[in-house]
Amino acid sequence: MSEKKDVILEQIKSIAPNIQKERELLVQSRQQGKWALFKTFVRFSGPGWLQSATTLGGGSLSSSMYLGVLVGFGFLWLQPLAMIAGIIMLSAISYVTLSTGRSPVRMINEHVNPLLGWSWLLAAMLANFVWAMPQYSIAIASIQQNLLPHLFGPPTVEPFIGKVIIGILILCINLTFLTLYTFGGKGVKIFEVIIKLMVASVVICFFGVFIVLNIKGQIHWQKYLAGFIPDFSLFFYPSKELMPYIEQVPEKFRTYWINLIVSQQRDVMISSAATAVGINMTFMLPYSMLRKGWDREFRGLAIFDLATGLFIPFILATSCVVIASAAQFHAKPAPGFLGEQDEKGNLIQPAPNLMGSFQSLIEGRIIYEIGKEQWNILSKEEKEARIKRLPEADRKLSAMMVRRDAFNLSDALTPLTGPTVAKYIFGIGVLGMGLGVSSMLMLINSLCFCELLNRPLRGLPQFIGGAMVSISLLGVLFWKDAQMWLAIPTSVFCMTLLPLAYLSFWLLLNQKKLLKDDFPQGLKFWSWNILLFIAFTLSLIGAIWSIISKIGYKGIGIIIAFLVLMLISHIYRKKKQKVTSN
């Protein structure tokens, strides 16, 4: 589709009425020096903070938590590296978009592949619906379990009724934010300020927990700082802290634990990297910039915005969660599984949400010993007897490996930091994550919907597109298995398309016909291409690993089938362009 048919930029003055003034201030500040330019960049930043609010959600929280459980401080370097790779690609996306001023979907359809362009849009929309579910879940749980348990739970109301009330309140806040953004102008400014405050609250809350743990002497700085130095041995061996406990297991069963732990380390490594920049973030960035009226004069601001609004908050928040989780959980059994007693001699009960994970680990160890078929023919009583006879070393490792969540961390922090920090400050951080990301997913879907209809990014179509994500809340409240059924196919689809989306913008950046005078030259050309090659390769490795881990090697068949469809679409596009030119 030609530039004349791009509807994205229509009536941009009514959406961003001050854009010409902002452009003039940028030009003036460049002439006045670096300090003036820095202050102007800070004043006009926005899309990078929206990116930060999108990625700091349930996925990042869960992955950061389990990184700390599994390897302690050992993988602190991983998420910064993943985010740097993501920012490289997002910078390329912003460069192409702002240089051309065109709709990215239309550019990909015209210059790369129409199947890829539309698949990218649909994958972003699908991701918004599915990934909104865990955000609503953690936001509701933070209020119901941490912040206001007595107001939205027994004895005031039944837990489910409290959950519904909280869900409706969160939805109202989401829709209010969406309305602000939809109207443009001052509404966008207000929305961006709110998002910045929410991101700041998340970072401050988790950083506050880190400070308290440091004051209490729970963080060893030497180990903490060493965690930012890549330790590739963790790809092949468990952490040094876990090895003494593995060595207590009978020698013939150590292989089970080593393989299990290393496998989980690799999986959580990939998932942590994958949650740094999702496919819907690649869609939101260019359209949020176009909606603000940004053009080639704003390219430097866009990169600054990503560095300050996305990288810094993400690294601070996720690192603090990893550190807190490592300090409380790494190589430490979850209480209640080994017959522990409290000060009064009462038996400590394990957290209900950890019992299924513990049972699965214990059963896996026995199945490794006797085989799956033998385990299946045992009666319930015989299985329980086998579990009770399992050596304490195996039970201890199982208790160490259970997958804790943010609320287990909150409970673990309470004796150390007191209820104010553990329950309320930590709870506000989790609420900020859930509320911020659910709002952002609505916003992204509103942009997707307008582009799907080829309508301007404003007004009723945009509001309807954003409000569609409300369906995800119904899934959380009334269909508990919705996320489980939808998460795997959505993840496979999105992970397949993420490196292909990266590849699309890499190819666009190398098209002189498209970029014209803005085509990178000399050292700039080689710098862009080397960095994009690294980012693309990392995303491709992560995608293949993630797909195989979720659905096995048949995932390779899905990738090949999609590539074949892309080839057919490419041939059709070339023929159509040839006919049009003739």
Closest C-alpha to 530, from 508, 506, 546: 506
Q: And the tokens for 301?
A: 């601001």
**Gap between the terminal Cα atoms of the chain:** 16
- Asked if residue 101 lies in contact with residue 471, where contact means CB atoms within 8 angstroms, the answer is no
Contacts of 184 (CB under 8 A, 6+ apart): 14, 15, 16, 291, 458
| Residue 111 burial (CB count, 10 A) | 17
- Asked if residue 293 lies in contact with residue 58, where contact means CB atoms within 8 angstroms, the answer is no
What is the distance between the alpha carbons of residues 445 and 463, in angstroms, rounded to a whole number?
9
For the chain, what are the domain ranges? 3-334+407-483, 352-403
Which pLDDT belongs to residue 481?
59
Which pLDDT belongs to residue 48?
87
Q: The dihedral of CA 411, 412, 415, 416: what is its sign?
A: negative
Instruction: Provide Rg for the chain, Cα atoms.
Output: 25
What is the distance between the alpha carbons of residues 32 and 372, in angstroms, rounded to a whole number?
73
- Asked if residue 75 lies in contact with residue 227, where contact means CB atoms within 8 angstroms, the answer is yes
What is the distance between the alpha carbons of residues 578 and 471, in angstroms, rounded to a whole number?
43
What is the distance between the alpha carbons of residues 116 and 219, in angstroms, rounded to a whole number?
47
Q: What are phi and psi of 341, to 5 degrees?
A: -125, 150
Closest C-alpha to 269, from 548, 497, 68: 68
User: Per-residue pLDDT for the chain (582 aa), expressed as one digit of tens each?
Assistant: 444 445 444 444 445 667 788 888 988 998 898 899 999 998 888 888 889 888 888 778 888 888 888 898 888 998 898 899 899 999 999 999 999 989 999 999 888 888 888 989 998 998 899 889 888 988 998 899 888 888 887 888 888 899 999 999 999 999 999 998 887 667 778 888 888 888 888 888 888 888 888 887 777 778 888 888 888 888 889 999 999 999 999 989 999 999 999 988 888 887 777 667 888 899 999 998 988 888 888 999 999 999 999 999 999 988 988 998 898 889 999 988 888 887 777 888 888 889 999 999 999 999 999 999 999 998 988 888 998 889 999 999 999 999 888 788 878 777 777 777 777 888 888 888 889 899 999 999 999 999 999 888 888 899 999 999 999 998 888 876 555 556 556 666 777 778 888 888 999 999 998 998 999 999 999 999 999 999 999 888 888 887 777 777 777 787 788 788 878 877 777 777 666 665
**Topology adopted by domain 3-334+407-483:** Hydantoin permease (1.10.4160)
